[in-house]
């Protein structure tokens, strides 16, 4: 099973600034990595797939990069609405699909 | 646009069977040959755990680490799929999500999720 980890656990950023989130896989997953945004009481929302491709309707303030075992999600020009939990998921080696615990992004 | 909505009892007693249903709207599951339908859960304070996925034909994949207490079924006539968990214990308390992912290799990210339903285990 591929173990997914993320850092930091919490990130506090001022509006307008940039946030960079990291995701690591215990073994190579190629570019089979997705990022999601999850706000309390809502359905998780797909942001990025294929490590760097934005899903439909996702603004270009969100960008993903990386391959193999190291990935990152960058959010530029942060807005209050970006406050959420962000988690990554690998789909290279399933079953099982595995998820990282997530990074909570707080807007100061 | 497809939407998913979970429903369930909210509270289940220890050692009883938990039954959850996911209603699919905006598309017919029997027409969705390109998709699997999945159950994922998140225990309090823990990360997401994939339980299993089902194709519209009834073919299933399960997370083998969950030791066989879970059964996923599909009913294309009602556009729903379901999860049964036998002999629940406190460790099964979680928010349960239903979700959809592609059936095509290398495209199998989760593109649609439900809002989740909270399950509490209590006598």
pLDDT, tens only, A74-92:
999 999 999 999 999 999 9
Averaged pLDDT for residues A64-74: 98
Which of A9, A37, A42, A44 is the best residue to mutate to test the B interface, defined by the most B CB atoms within 10 Å of its own CB? A44
Residue corresponding to tokens 């089902």: B54
Q: Is B46's Cβ below 8 Å from some Cβ in A?
A: yes
Residue B32 has pLDDT above 80, yes or no: no
Residue A62, strand partner residues: A75
How far is Cα A32 from Cα A54, in angstroms, rounded to an integer? Answer: 13
Cβ–Cβ of B109/A34 closer than 8 Å? yes
Percentage of chain B lying above the pLDDT 70 cut = 99
pLDDT the model gives residue B104: 86
Averaged pLDDT for residues B107-120: 96
pLDDT the model gives residue B29: 86
Q: Which of A6-15, B12-21, B23-32 has the lowest mean pLDDT?
A: B23-32
Q: Do A98 and A32 meet the contact criterion of CB atoms below 8 Å apart?
A: no
Residue B35 has pLDDT above 80, yes or no: yes
| Sheet of A62-67, strands arranged across | A4-7, A19-25, A70-75, A62-67
Q: Is A100's Cβ below 8 Å from some Cβ in B?
A: yes
Say what the alpha-carbon torsion angle A103, A94, B80, B97 is, to the nearest 10 degrees: -20
**pLDDT band for position B116 (50/70/90)?**
very high
pLDDT the model gives residue B25: 95
pLDDT, tens only, B38-83:
999 999 999 999 999 999 999 999 999 887 899 999 999 999 999 9
pLDDT the model gives residue A1: 93
User: How far away is chain A from the Cα of B40, in angstroms, using its nearest Cα?
Assistant: 10
pLDDT the model gives residue B106: 84
pLDDT, tens only, A30-64:
999 999 999 999 999 999 999 999 999 999 999 99
How far is Cα A78 from Cα A66, in angstroms, rounded to an integer? Answer: 21
pLDDT the model gives residue B41: 97
pLDDT the model gives residue A52: 98
Cβ–Cβ of A45/B65 closer than 8 Å? no
pLDDT the model gives residue B10: 94
Cβ–Cβ of B111/A87 closer than 8 Å? no
Cβ–Cβ of B114/A55 closer than 8 Å? no
Please give the residue of chain A at the shortest CA–CA distance from B60: A95
How far is Cα B30 from Cα B25, in angstroms, rounded to an integer? Answer: 12
Give the DSSP letter string of B37-106. EEEEEE-TTS--EEEEEEETTS-EEE-GGGTT-EEEEEETTTTEEEEEESS--GGG-EEEEEEEEESSTT
Averaged pLDDT for residues A88-99: 94
How far is Cα A85 from Cα A75, in angstroms, rounded to an integer? Answer: 13
* A36 neighbourhood in chain B, CB within 8 Å: 110
Going by C-alpha positions, the residue among A56, A66, A11 that lies closest to residue A33 is A66
Cβ–Cβ of B46/A101 closer than 8 Å? yes
Q: What mean pLDDT value characterizes chain B?
A: 94
Residues 85-104 of B with CB under 8 A from A: 97, 99, 101
């Amino acid at each position: 099973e591929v173990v997914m980890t993320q850092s930091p656990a919490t990130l506090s950023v001022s509006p307008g600034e940039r946030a960079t989130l990291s995701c690591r896989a215990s073994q190579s997953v190629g570019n089979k990595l997705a990022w999601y945004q999850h706000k309390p009481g809502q359905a998780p929302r797909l942001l990025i797939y294929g490590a760097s491709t934005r899903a439909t309707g996702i603004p270009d303030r969100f960008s993903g990069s990386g391959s193999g075992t190291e990935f990152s999600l960058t959010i530029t020009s942060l807005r209050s609405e970006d406050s959420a939990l962000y988690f990554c998921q690998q789909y290279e080696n399933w079953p099982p699909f595995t998820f990282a615990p997530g990074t909570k992004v707080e807007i100061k | 646009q497809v939407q998913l909505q979970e429903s369930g009892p909210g509270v289940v007693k220890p050692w009883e069977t938990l039954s959850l249903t996911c209603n699919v709207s905006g598309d017919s599951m029997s027409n969705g040959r390109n998709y699997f339908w999945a159950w994922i859960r998140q225990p309090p304070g823990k990360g997401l755990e994939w339980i299993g996925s089902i194709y519209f034909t009834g073919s299933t994949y399960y997370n083998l680490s969950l030791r066989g207490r879970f059964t996923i079924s599909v009913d294309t006539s009602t556009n729903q799929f379901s999860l049964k968990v036998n002999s629940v214990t406190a460790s099964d308390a979680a928010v349960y999500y239903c979700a959809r992912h592609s059936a095509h290799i290398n495209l199998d990210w989760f593109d649609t999720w439900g809002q989740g339903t909270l399950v509490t285990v209590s006598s």
